[in-house]
Amino acid sequence: MSSARDPVWVVTIGDELLRGEIVDSNKSHLSQRMLALELESTRHVSVPDDPRAMEEVLREAAARARVVLVSGGLGPTRDDLTTEIAARTFGRKLVRDAESLEQIRAFFRRFNREMAENNAKQADFPEGAEILPNPIGTAPGFMLDVPAPSTGEPSTQLFFMPGVPRELYRMLDEQVVPRISARLGRGRVVRARLLRTFGIGESNLDRMLADLAQADADAVLGFRTQFPDNLVRILVRAADERAAETRLDELEREVRARLGDLVVATGEQKLEEAVAALLRERKRTIAVAESLTGGLVASRLTDVPGSSAYLLEGVVAYANDAKVRALGVSPESLKQHGAVSEPVARQMAEGARRNAGADIGLATTGIAGPEGGSAEKPVGTLWLALADGAGTIAHRYQLMTDRARNKELASQLALDWVRRRLLGLPISAETFPRLISAKEPAK
C-alpha cells in the first residue's frame, strides 16, 4: 500500500457539526483507530449537507488519500444525501439491495414499530459497492474502491459509515478495520476492548498503566473521558483471532489487577446496566429517595429494560414537607441539622427502604447550585446514604459548582455505592479522595 498519497482522510458530514450543535467525536475516534494500524490521519474535513460541498470533498479525498473514512448522512430523511452524492461523484447508479431492505424491515419489526417508507432509501447503494452490515441500527454502510489518480497505484478505499457513534464504532471494528488490514497485506487481526472506570482521573489512569504495553508494539492503551467516567481502550494486533483474544485477556487481567474496584463496567455497558445485572443476579430490590438528583437515579435505573424486577419505588422529595410526609424524616432533624445533613440522608434512605419493603434504600440530598450554598455547606455539597439489612451508612462529598454536572456525578456516586454494596466492596469518603469536603471531614 506504499504511495505518495496521504494515508487517511476523515470526512464527517452534517449541518449540525458546522453549527456547533453537537461535538464531533467521530473524527478523533476514527483517527485513533487508524493509528493502531500505523496509518496517520492527515486531514479532518467537516462538510454541510450540501451536494456541491460533499461532491467536492469526496473527489479531492479520493484523489489524495489511500483510505477515506466518511461518517454521517446515511439516514432516511431528505437531508441525508451521502449515498446519493457518493454515487454521483464516482459515476455509479443507485441500486436497491433486497437483503439490506429486509434487514431494515426486520429491525423495525423487532421493536414492534412500523417502518416509514423513506427508510427504504437506506437500502440503496452505489453500483459495485460492498455493503457493510449494521446490526444495531437501520443504516448499513458501504465501501467503494475508486481507481487511483496515477497508474500503478492501489485504488482508494472509501468507507461510508453512520454518524451515530455507537453504530460507527461497531462497524469500524467489525467491518472497516479488517478490510483495511487485508489491504495492508499484513494478514493481521485487530481486536479492542473497553473498560469503564469511575473515581480516577485520566492522568492518573495513564500513570498507573503507563508501562503496561510499552514493550509490545502490537498493543496500545488509549484513554478518553466520558463524564463522569474515564475509559480505557485496550487494542491488540495479532496473527489470528485466537492470539488476539488471548493477548486481550492477558492485558485486561493486568489492567483490572492494577485498577481494582475502579473498573465499573466493560464495553459500552453503563454503570446503571452493571448495577441492574447485579440486582437481578442477587435477587435484590431497591427503593430510591432523591432530593439533589431530582429523580435522575431512578431514571437511570429505569433506562435498563426489566427494571421493574428490582426497582420498587422512587420518591423525589425536594421540599422538606415532602421528606417528612413521604419518607418519615423527623421535623426535628430538619430543624436542627437542615435538609442537607447526615441525619436527614440516613432517614431518607431508611424511609424509602421501609415504605417499599425493599432490600436496599438509597438517598441523595445536597446543594446542586448555582445558588443556595453557604460557608458551612457550599454549592456541590452532597450527602449520600444507603440502608440495608446490615445497617445504614452515610458520607459527605464535595462536588463541583455546575448544577448539571453535580446531579450527574451524584447519581453516578449513588449507583456506584449500590455496585460496591452488592459486590462486598468498601464504601467510604476516601474511596473518592478528590471529592472529600475540605469543610467537613466525612463521618
With respect to residue 289, please indicate whether it lies within any of the assigned structural domains.
yes
CATH of the domain at 330: 3.90.950.20
Indicate whether 286 and 416 sit together in one domain: yes
Indicate whether 175 and 43 sit together in one domain: yes
Instruction: Report the chain's terminal Cα–Cα distance, integer Å.
Output: 63
Indicate whether 65 and 45 sit together in one domain: yes
Indicate whether 216 and 276 sit together in one domain: no
* Model pLDDT for residues 162-209, shown as the tens digit of each residue: 999 999 999 999 999 999 988 886 556 777 889 999 988 888 888 899
Indicate whether 171 and 206 sit together in one domain: no
The closest alpha carbon to 304, from 271, 340, 353, 259, belongs to 271
Q: What is the pLDDT of residue 384?
A: 97
**Structural domain tally of the chain?**
3
Q: What is the pLDDT of residue 434?
A: 47
Q: What is the pLDDT of residue 212?
A: 85
Q: What is the pLDDT of residue 186?
A: 58
With respect to residue 440, please indicate whether it lies within any of the assigned structural domains.
no
Residue in the block written with cell 431508611: 350
Distances (CA, A) of 267 to 35, 55, 270: 20, 36, 8
Indicate whether 216 and 329 sit together in one domain: no
| CA 290/CA 43 separation, integer angstroms | 47
Kindly report the number of other CB atoms within 10 A of residue 268's CB atom.
14
Q: What is the pLDDT of residue 432?
A: 65
Q: What is the pLDDT of residue 441?
A: 36
How high is the mean pLDDT in each 10-residue block of the chain (443 residues)? 78 94 91 82 96 97 96 93 97 96 92 90 97 94 91 88 94 93 73 89 87 80 87 87 92 95 91 97 98 98 96 98 98 97 98 98 96 92 97 94 94 97 89 46 35
DSSP-H helix ranges across 283-368: 296-302, 320-327, 331-337, 342-356
- Is residue 220 within 8 Å of 201, Cβ to Cβ? no
Indicate whether 295 and 348 sit together in one domain: yes
Q: What is the pLDDT of residue 437?
A: 37
Which domain does 47 fall in, by range?
A: 1-186
* Model pLDDT for residues 315-366, shown as the tens digit of each residue: 999 999 999 999 999 999 999 999 999 999 999 999 999 999 999 999 999 9
| CA 387/CA 385 separation, integer angstroms | 7
Indicate whether 180 and 251 sit together in one domain: no
CATH of the domain at 20: 3.40.980.10
